[in-house]
Amino acid sequence: MGITFEQVSYRYKERALKQHLALDHIDLSLKTNQFITIVGAPGSGKSTLLQHLNGLLRADHGTIHLLDMIISPSPAKLPKGLNQRVGLVFQYPEQQLFKETIWEDLLYGPLNFNMSKAEAELAAKKAAEFMGLDDLILAKSPYQLSSGQIRKAAIAAVLAAGPEIIVLDEPTASLDASSRLELMTLLHRQCQEQGRTVIVVTHALEEVAPFTDQIIVMDEGTIAFVGKPHELVNRTDLIDKAGLQIPAAYELYAALQKPLRLSKLDHYPSAAELAAAIKAAIS
């Protein structure tokens, strides 16, 4: 069981006459039950890739194996339960909430997936609690909330349906610094405690790197890199191309590595971990 892309290609048809391939014969193999990060320059195909996981976009060529499901190019039918098992949180969460109140929105998914009213309410309540949404927020309309609250509500609405894979498109945009860390920690918990697979698209390496098991770099519709975050940090060509920034703490550690004879890193450390290592070397 995993996520496998075999020679998947996709081209947007409506927008203009001659479009380059948004996905260009992608081969990718990922393990489930991991925290996966996708980075890349704008227009490199990240969002297109995500939408394939949920069946919103159908590949022109190639097959996607997802858990025990197989997604073939249309006109083949989408596997049953795909929408429930793969939850997609949109890049602009305000586009995702369409019911009159947040509470109704949380119930929308579970009710569609044939849960009974009681089950759906229980699932919605649990998701709301997990994302820290109180009753006051649940009774409001999406338009009355701050962008951070909308973001949380959108994620809760997806979690309520109980997906095995959660896919998030730039979930930390429009969040303040502490909420960003909080959100990533929550997602990481989903991964570790519930055994769910979390797939995140982001531009901020610093936010996700400490939690990430696998990082994927996309470039012009192709996969440029798959590996651990600390392996990516040395690939400056990719970092520049994808418009990423190496976290300051990591750069500091790298600069001090030789003079302080610090050990080589075999994982991506948190800032606190780096500070402790430097402290130990100095004293």
Partner 1 sequence: MKHKLMLGRYIEGQSLLHRLDPRSKLASMLCFIAAVFLINSYVTLFIGLVFTLIIIVLTKIPLSYYIRAIKPLIFLIAFITLFHIFFHTEGARMLKVGVFSIYSGGLEKGLVAAGRMTLFIAFAAVLSFTTQPDRIANALGSFLRPLKRLGVPVERLTLMLSLSLRFIPTIFEEVERIWKAQVSRGFSLADQPLKEKAKRTIALLVPVTSSAFRRAESLADAMEARSYRLGASRSQYRQMLWKRSDTLFVLSFTLPICLITLFN
Q: Tell me 93's DSSP state.
A: G
Q: How many residues bind partner 1 (CB under 8 A)?
A: 23
**Alpha helix (H) ranges present in 74-227?**
82-85, 102-112, 117-130, 135-138, 147-160, 177-193, 205-208
Contact 106, 124 (CB under 8 A): yes
Stretch that binds partner 1, among 35-43, 65-73, 156-164, 229-237 (CB under 8 A): 156-164
Q: Is 91 left (phi over 0), alpha (psi -120 to 50) or beta?
A: alpha
Label residues 185-214 b or e (16+ Cβ within 10 Å = b): ebbbebbeeeebbbbbbbbbbbbbbbbbbb
DSSP 25-73: EEEEEEESSSEEEEEE-TTSSHHHHHHHHTTSS--SEEEEEEETEEEPS
Considering only residues 114 to 153 of the shown chain, the ones binding partner 1 according to CB under 8 A are 143
Q: How far apart are CB 218 and partner 1 at their closest, in Å?
A: 21
- For position 96 contacting partner 1 by CB under 8 A, the verdict is yes
Q: Give residue for tokens 């025990």.
A: 68
Nearer to partner 1, 95 or 192 (CB): 95
Q: Is 200 in the site for partner 1 (CB under 8 A)?
A: no
Nearer to partner 1, 5 or 108 (CB): 108
Q: 46 to each of 39, 58, 65, 203, how far by Cα in Å?
A: 7, 15, 18, 11
The region of 107-115, 177-185, 200-208, 244-252 touching partner 1 under the rule CB under 8 A is 107-115
Among 98, 129, 185, 272, interactor with partner 1 by CB under 8 A = 98
Residues 6+ apart with CB under 8 A from 48: 10, 12, 22, 23, 57, 221
Map the footprint of partner 1 across residues 229-268, applying CB under 8 A: none
Member of 5, 10, 103, 108 binding partner 1 (CB under 8 A): 108
Rounded least distance, CB 49 to partner 1, Å:
15
By CB under 8 A, tell whether 161 contacts partner 1.
Answer: yes
Q: Token pair of 5, please?
A: 């892309």
Taking the least distance from each CB to partner 1, the nearer of 50 and 223 is 50
Q: Does 279 bind partner 1 (CB under 8 A)?
A: no
- Of the candidates 16, 84, 86, 81, which has an alpha carbon nearest to the alpha carbon of residue 50? 86
Q: According to CB under 8 A, which one of 157, 168, 187, 198 is a site residue for partner 1?
A: 157
State the binding string over 70-89 for partner 1 (x if CB under 8 A, else -): -------------xx--xx-
State yes or no: residue 159 binds partner 1 (CB under 8 A).
no
Contacts to partner 1 from residues 29-58, by CB under 8 A:
54, 56
The pair of three-digit structure tokens given for residue 250, joined into one six-digit string = 């990591």
Residues that bind partner 1 (CB under 8 A): 14-17, 54, 56, 83-84, 87-88, 90, 95-98, 108-109, 112-113, 143, 157-158, 161
